[in-house]
């Protein structure tokens, strides 16, 4: 038989040739196709390959009557309705790892550029000025490189930097400390790394915890005359604070592949010691060629009945497992959402306890679901999903243990423990009630019983008179109505945990102000 593969966007010629070389496949290549054309042509196609431009909507998927697989020639799948594809039994695949080396190479290139003042030398020489007296640079050998985010790209940068004889330290609150240490790399707290490094390179994901992570206090902590490089996400750096550090001379030079404002009016453009590039980290011939080849190979394999290399969604479940999957998936997903911000320190073991009667392969899929949410904001280099989550955990030397509870008291319950070298970091336990409600009933040593729907605050505070009233008064003064409230005490630690639900969504500003109340240890807000 012949499988038709629709390609409405530019794909590397070698990838097209690979597809055309097999008589079982017929590539249908469209150039600037309209929505109407896509809807008409996809009806007879077995596969679809897109990049970032084509929006693979529910309507387009529905029109693909014979569609079996969708390939995204790149990392993200934001332009693909993955849940609807899954509902229709259509596999989605992507190519998450092909640009990692490209970004690492660019990072080293930017280091050399800054240290040797190549950007200044280039512009000056173009103007016919061969004066070099003030272009005295420095060698990479012997300099200390501080890597913020020791994931896949950070590790590749470290490998390259070692070849230049650099000293390397890393900051990553979520990495197993044994991983960098086994490679001769010092794992340091953020402030110590900044104060130690001549070059600081950023390789972290953007999330609520990392937005403007590098601001005035962090720049002030850096060595005088440090070099700063960002090839990850612009919003991790406070641009105003960066400009102030440049103006004061705190930073000798800066290289950015990402900026918060992509426009000719960007104030960073006026500084001669700032190197800017238009987010070209993955823009190499090798990366683009490999992305196309990986996707074409995956689609050819799947249509011939072989497993996918990088599937985004997962295989079908048995009818028995399918009935249980929905509620358990929602429960473990919400427990993961609760535990993630609570887990701000390193960990190297995750234990998940399931009811003994869960049919296979449901526990494995639920574990991957948990990891895909719990680890999501810790991963900068690739989109994490339930297929690659286990592999990413292994790469970070995180041990994953599944155990099973036979006691009737644990029926329909899931309990999760996060540990570091045998010391418990965080725990949480939830259950599905008889009427199918999702209940959280334990957070660390605090006993709670609250349905996981709506708007939820978890507030840890000092156990002293007036605290409950102070918190409630603050919310009332800000027109936040309390729908439900529970308090649990830990006498040995002289702390209390308030689990509080509100009638309306709450702004980040309110949460921050609540955190600043005297006697409040920490505050986390969730919207389910």
Catalytic residue among 59, 181, 262, 484: 262
Provide the 10 A C-beta neighbour count for residue 190. 16
Give the chain's count of helices (H) and strands (E): 17, 22
Treating both helix axes as pointing N-terminal to C-terminal, what angle do 508-515 and 467-477 enclose, rounded to 10 degrees?
150
Q: Are strands 446-451 and 495-502 parallel, antiparallel or unpaired?
A: unpaired
Look at phi and psi of residue 486 and say left if phi exceeds 0, alpha if psi is from -120 to 50, else beta: beta
**Cα 40 off chain centre by:** 36
Question: Cβ neighbours of residue 310 under 8 Å, at least 6 residues apart?
Answer: 93, 94, 95, 96, 97, 294, 298, 387, 388
Peptide bond into 217 cis (omega under 30): no
The answer to whether 380 and 236 are in contact (CB under 8 A) is: no
The answer to whether residues 457 and 502 touch, using CB atoms and an 8 Å cutoff, is: yes
What gap in Å lies between CA 233 and CA 212, rounded to an integer? 10
Q: Measure the CA–CA gap between 156 and 436, rounded to whole angstroms.
A: 46
CA pair distance 336, 374, nearest whole angstrom: 5
Q: In angstroms, what CA-CA distances link 133 with 117, 118, 190, 275? A: 12, 14, 36, 21
Question: Which of the residues 156, 203, 233, 413 is marked catalytic?
Answer: 233
- In order of 140, 375, 465, the CA distances from 160 in angstroms are 11, 26, 57
* Cβ count near 279 (within 10 Å): 14
Tell me, yes or no, if 323 is annotated catalytic. Answer: no
Strand partners, 255: 229, 275
Distance CA(252)–CA(137), nearest Å, equals 11
DSSP state letter for 441: E
Cα 492 off chain centre by: 37
Q: Pick the closest to residue 334 from 432, 401, 424 (CA basis).
A: 432
Among residues 472, 470, 480, 485, the alpha carbon closest in space to that of 510 is found at: 480
Tokens of 183: 């490679």
SS3 label, residue 213 = coil
Which of 162, 279, 309, 329 is an active site residue?
Answer: 279
Indicate if 212 belongs to the active site. no
How far is residue 215's CA from residue 446's CA, in Å, rounded to a whole number? 35
For residue 265, indicate whether it is catalytic. Answer: no
**How many other C-beta atoms can be found within 10 angstroms of the C-beta atom of residue 427?**
18
Q: What is the distance in angstroms between the CA of the first residue and the CA of the last residue of the chain?
A: 47
- Catalytic positions, please? 233, 262, 279
């Amino acid at each position: 038989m012949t499988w038709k593969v629709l390609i409405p966007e530019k794909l590397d010629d070698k990838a097209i040739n690979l597809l055309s070389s097999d008589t079982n496949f017929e590539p249908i290549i469209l150039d600037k196709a309209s929505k109407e054309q896509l809807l008409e042509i996809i009806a007879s196609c077995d596969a679809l390959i897109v990049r970032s431009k084509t929006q693979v909507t529910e309507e387009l998927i529905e029109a693909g009557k014979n569609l079996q697989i969708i390939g995204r020639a790149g990392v993200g799948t934001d332009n693909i309705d993955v849940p609807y594809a899954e509902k229709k039994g259509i596999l989605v695949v992507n190519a998450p790892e092909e640009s990692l080396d490209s970004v690492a190479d660019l990072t080293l290139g930017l280091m050399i550029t800054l240290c040797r003042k190549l950007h200044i030398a280039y512009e000056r020489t173009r103007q016919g000025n061969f004066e070099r007296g003030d272009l005295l640079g420095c060698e990479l050998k012997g300099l200390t490189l501080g890597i913020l985010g020791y994931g896949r790209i950070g590790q590749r940068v470290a490998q390259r930097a070692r070849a230049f004889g650099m000293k390397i330290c890393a900051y990553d609150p979520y990495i197993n400390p044994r991983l960098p240490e086994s490679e001769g790399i010092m794992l340091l707290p953020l402030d110590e790394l900044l104060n130690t490094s001549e070059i600081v390179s950023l390789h972290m994901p953007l999330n609520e915890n990392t937005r403007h992570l590098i601001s005035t206090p962090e720049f002030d902590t850096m060595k005088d005359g440090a070099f700063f490089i960002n090839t990850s996400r612009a919003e991790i750096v406070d641009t105003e604070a960066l400009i102030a550090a440049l103006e004061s001379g705190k930073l000798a030079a800066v290289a950015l592949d990402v900026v918060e404002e992509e426009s000719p009016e960007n104030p960073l453009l006026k500084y001669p010691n700032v190197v800017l590039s238009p987010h070209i980290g993955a823009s190499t011939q090798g990366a683009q060629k490999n992305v196309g080849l990986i996707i074409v190979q995956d689609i050819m394999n799947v249509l011939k009945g072989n497993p996918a290399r990088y599937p985004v969604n997962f295989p079908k479940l048995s009818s028995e497992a399918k009935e249980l999957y929905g509620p358990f998936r929602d429960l473990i997903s919400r427990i993961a959402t609760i535990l993630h911000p609570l887990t701000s320190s390193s960990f190297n073991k995750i234990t998940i306890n399931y009811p003994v009667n869960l049919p296979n392969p449901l526990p494995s899929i639920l574990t991957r679901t948990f990891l895909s949410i719990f680890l999501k904001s810790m991963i900068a280099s690739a989109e994490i999903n339930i297929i690659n989550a286990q592999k990413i955990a292994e790469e970070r030397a995180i041990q994953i243990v599944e155990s099973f509870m036979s006691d009737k008291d644990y029926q329909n319950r899931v309990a999760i423990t996060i540990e570091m070298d045998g010391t418990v970091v965080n725990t949480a336990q939830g259950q599905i009630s008889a009427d199918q409600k999702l209940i959280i009933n334990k957070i660390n040593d605090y006993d709670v019983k609250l349905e996981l729907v709506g708007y939820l605050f978890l507030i840890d505070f000092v156990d002293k008179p007036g605290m409950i009233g102070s918190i409630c008064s603050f919310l009332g003064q800000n027109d936040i109505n309390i729908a439900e409230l529970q308090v649990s005490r830990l006498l040995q630690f002289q702390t209390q945990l308030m689990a509080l639900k509100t009638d309306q969504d709450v702004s980040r500003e309110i949460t921050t102000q609540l955190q600043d109340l005297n006697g409040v240890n920490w505050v986390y807000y969730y919207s389910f």
